[in-house]
Structure 1
Amino acid sequence: MHHPGPWRATFSALCANLVGIGLARFAYSPLIPALVREGWFPASSAAYLGAANLAGYLAGALAARALGRSLGPARALRAMMMVIALSFLLCAQPLPFAWFFVWRFASGAAGGIIMVLAATLALPHVPDSRRGLAGGLIFMGVGLGAVASALLLPPLLARGMGLTWVALGLLCLGFTLAAWRGWPEDTVPPAGNQAPPSGDPRLRALMGVYALNAFGLVPHMVFLVDMVARGLGLGLERGAAIWLLFGLGATVGPVVLGRLGDRFGFGLTLRAALATQAVVVALASTTDEVGWLGLSALVMGGFTPGVVPVVLGRVRELRPGDSGAQRAAWSRTTAAFALGQAAGAYGLAWVFAATGAYDLLFALGAAALVLALMLELAVRPRRISATA
């Protein structure tokens, strides 16, 4: 039986998130204008391919537990990382839209499965007091992928679209092999069912909070670069610099927030995170000053993957001991996040098409975050538990 150390398992999970979200999703955003410019797809089709990835992510989050049970989590994770590497390699030719749609959907589904399984497989092997830190390191992979895509794509795209897809596929393959031997076997004994039954209102509320938080992240994730480049007329270079700040924030955010969760409890950390995000997104709706927008990109970049270890830590607080129940709750919570994100991406795209007003998108994002905070504060347990 194969038992890597806790930090080796953490490294494998970091690689999985780097491939599953950092590259499979975040490396696609900067490819969209290039796909259109090179004439592979019209703009509307390229945007639908981005949406295919989000739809796949939701499907993957819902299917993850069943796949983990039938293949074993470690096998499922290796397979999904291979699917993502393949999805890049098989898109290196300008083929019909349906082909690309299938592979973008598949890479999204693989990312959703990785998001549910990777951390819940690695974290039970980490000592309790370090789990926030380990969770932060795991989700730091998302930020590293965003930074890698911001730095690698301009020189790659200068050499051609086909080569860019192949290079991204090989990069995914490299991280897949780096993670291969580090997955623990899933032999964490379930510690009885000392968790409250799944009707726990705090867990149901947490799903709503996480979905609203996901909605509130969309303006920065999807529209900020476009607003700086086209809306304010500052050009693509300034837009790329903003995206790099977002990626740098995403690299440090999860580690900082994971440590705060270890220190102050994940419930309190979550409430502080929601309040901070609401303020920053509201500010972005009121300013054209690029320095402030850059700062907001850095901060919201930190929260985009940073809320993930906080909410995962909160799930573990509400479902102590039982790794099966934790995985079930985390799968549902991740699906709620995927729904909130898809609703935000489609809903705000519709609002933007109708109004052309960037500030309105950020105002709606801020409103969603205020709602999330109100919901989180409204559902207090009748009896004050040690973690609340």
Structure 2
Amino acid sequence: MRTLSAAFDVPPTGMWLSIFAGLCASLVSIGLARFAYTPLIPSLIEARWFSASDVVYLGAANLVGYLIGALLGRPMARRLSNKNALRLMMLVVTAAFFACAFAVSVTWYFAWRLLSGIAGGAIMVLVAATVLPHVPAARRGLASGAIFLGIGLGIAGSGTIVPLLLSSGLQATWLGLGALSLVLTGLSWFGWPHDLHPAAAGEIRATPDEPTPRAVYQLFAQYAFMAAGLVPAMVFLVDYVARGLGAGAHVGALVWVMYGVGAIIGPVSYGYLADHLGARKSIRLVLAVQATALGLLAISQTFLALAILAMLIGSFPPGIVPLALARVHELVPNHHLQQVAWGRATVSFATFQAVAGFIYSALFNATGGQHTLLFLIAAGAIVVALLLDFVPRVAGSTVKA
């Protein structure tokens, strides 16, 4: 630990504070800002704040903003520094929660949901690049899992904290989420590490003609298909159990709780796999399990089977993030190029996630609500992501896959 402290000028306590700050950021910007909206949808419609079509439209605003934020994250950090950009984005998300407590108009709500999405995309691009350089290489998989555990906590919180807050009313719920976000922003404020000097980070700028390994582009494609594969269960799982299988809202809520349990377990367990098996082998294993789980979901009807599958599938959305990040670090040893590659991977993920959301919704409406078809298509997308890993590499690649 003394070697780490001397090398990075950050004591061990500072390292864990940085990881905690990263967890707070992912919890606020993705875990709460995106996933807490889902259980609020019925209340927004019942309270007549907005029509059903407007509520869906407002939900899409966050996904669109996420894509914009993924594109703007690194340029923003160059102007403000990573630490200041992360602080600013957490404040933006907090302000959005408070603003959404007031149903001024659809345009008002859309703007704030869009801003919260922009903040989430920017944070996703910047948080790992800010924290992981201060973590020993052998522990970065586990550390990144701890950072993105915040997403899982937010998913779990969407099924627990939000219903409790709703007992006090819709406006009180938004204000409560804003207060929680403000507390987490304050707790993380002084935990962010300073940006490393390029020399300290081992950063050597690539020459203009330095080739990018084909494996990196294949990872972008894999990550995109992973995004397409996680959308149906994330959006339609509860409706499938409650209405599709006729099990009712209570059983649907219990299955969603199991999805949340999986979301908590996923990031750290996937990060642990990356540290011990390597990212590539771990991704193959996880994709095989996910494709199988989605296929079984389409034919399972017992509560036990649905609960187990929900937990497995729930581990995937937050868990695949540290795995993909670890794969970037395997393929790209240069610190600066790692940030570039991770930013592009996030853009690829955000693009396919947003597009897939619209396509699945259209298919769902066109087929009269065929959940199983969506799950099978999602399983197919995961299979494609797995098969892409077996595409032959280009000879002479600068980084071995």
> Is TM (by shorter chain) over 0.5?
yes
* Among candidates 280, 284, 298, match of residue 311 of structure 2: 298
Following superposition, the deviation at residue 366 of structure 1 comes to 0.5
Equivalent residue letter for 1:231: G
Give the distance between the partners of 2:210 and 2:45, measured in 1 at CA. Answer: 50
Counterpart for residue 7 of structure 1: 16
Following superposition, the deviation at residue 188 of structure 1 comes to 4.4
Q: Secondary structure at the match of 2:292?
A: helix
Following superposition, the deviation at residue 59 of structure 1 comes to 0.5
* Among candidates 48, 59, 63, match of residue 68 of structure 2: 59
Counterpart for residue 365 of structure 1: 378
1:309 and 2:322 are equivalent in the alignment: yes
1:207 and 2:220 are equivalent in the alignment: yes
Counterpart for residue 325 of structure 1: 337
Give the distance between the partners of 1:23 and 1:381, measured in 2 at CA. Answer: 41
1:111 and 2:101 are equivalent in the alignment: no
* Contact preservation (8 Å) 2:332, 2:399: no
Give the distance between the partners of 2:289 and 2:357, measured in 1 at CA. Answer: 22
Give the distance between the partners of 2:377 and 2:72, measured in 1 at CA. Answer: 31
Q: TM-score, normalised by structure 1?
A: 0.96
* Among candidates 228, 239, 245, match of residue 241 of structure 2: 228
Give the distance between the partners of 1:244 and 1:366, measured in 2 at CA. Answer: 22
The answer for unaligned runs of 5 or more in structure 1 is none
Equivalent residue letter for 1:346: F
Following superposition, the deviation at residue 193 of structure 1 comes to 4.8
Q: Say how many residue pairs are matched.
A: 387
1:348 and 2:357 are equivalent in the alignment: no
* Among candidates 75, 79, 89, match of residue 80 of structure 1: 89
Equivalent residue letter for 2:329: R
Counterpart for residue 138 of structure 1: 147
Give the distance between the partners of 1:73 and 1:228, measured in 2 at CA. Answer: 42
Counterpart for residue 159 of structure 1: 168
Q: Secondary structure at the match of 2:35?
A: coil
Cα distance change on mapping 1:344 and 1:144 into 2, 3 Å = same
Following superposition, the deviation at residue 293 of structure 1 comes to 1.8
* Contact preservation (8 Å) 1:80, 1:111: yes
How do 1:86-97 and structure 2 match up within 5 A? 86-97=95-106
* Among candidates 107, 114, 125, match of residue 98 of structure 1: 107
Following superposition, the deviation at residue 383 of structure 1 comes to 6.7
How do 1:232-251 and structure 2 match up within 5 A? 232-251=245-264
Cα distance change on mapping 1:105 and 1:379 into 2, 3 Å = farther
Give the distance between the partners of 1:212 and 1:27, measured in 2 at CA. Answer: 24
Give the distance between the partners of 2:159 and 2:216, measured in 1 at CA. Answer: 36
Q: TM-score, normalised by structure 2?
A: 0.93
Counterpart for residue 69 of structure 1: 78
Equivalent residue letter for 1:182: G
Cα distance change on mapping 1:227 and 1:108 into 2, 3 Å = same
The answer for unaligned runs of 5 or more in structure 2 is 1-7
Deviations 1:243-286 (A, max 9, x none): 21111111111111111111111111111111111111111112
* Contact preservation (8 Å) 1:205, 1:376: yes
* Contact preservation (8 Å) 2:204, 2:336: no
Give the distance between the partners of 1:312 and 1:302, measured in 2 at CA. Answer: 16
Query: Which moved further from structure 2: 237-246 or 118-127?
Result: 237-246
Deviations 1:91-126 (A, max 9, x none): 112221010000000001100001010111000100
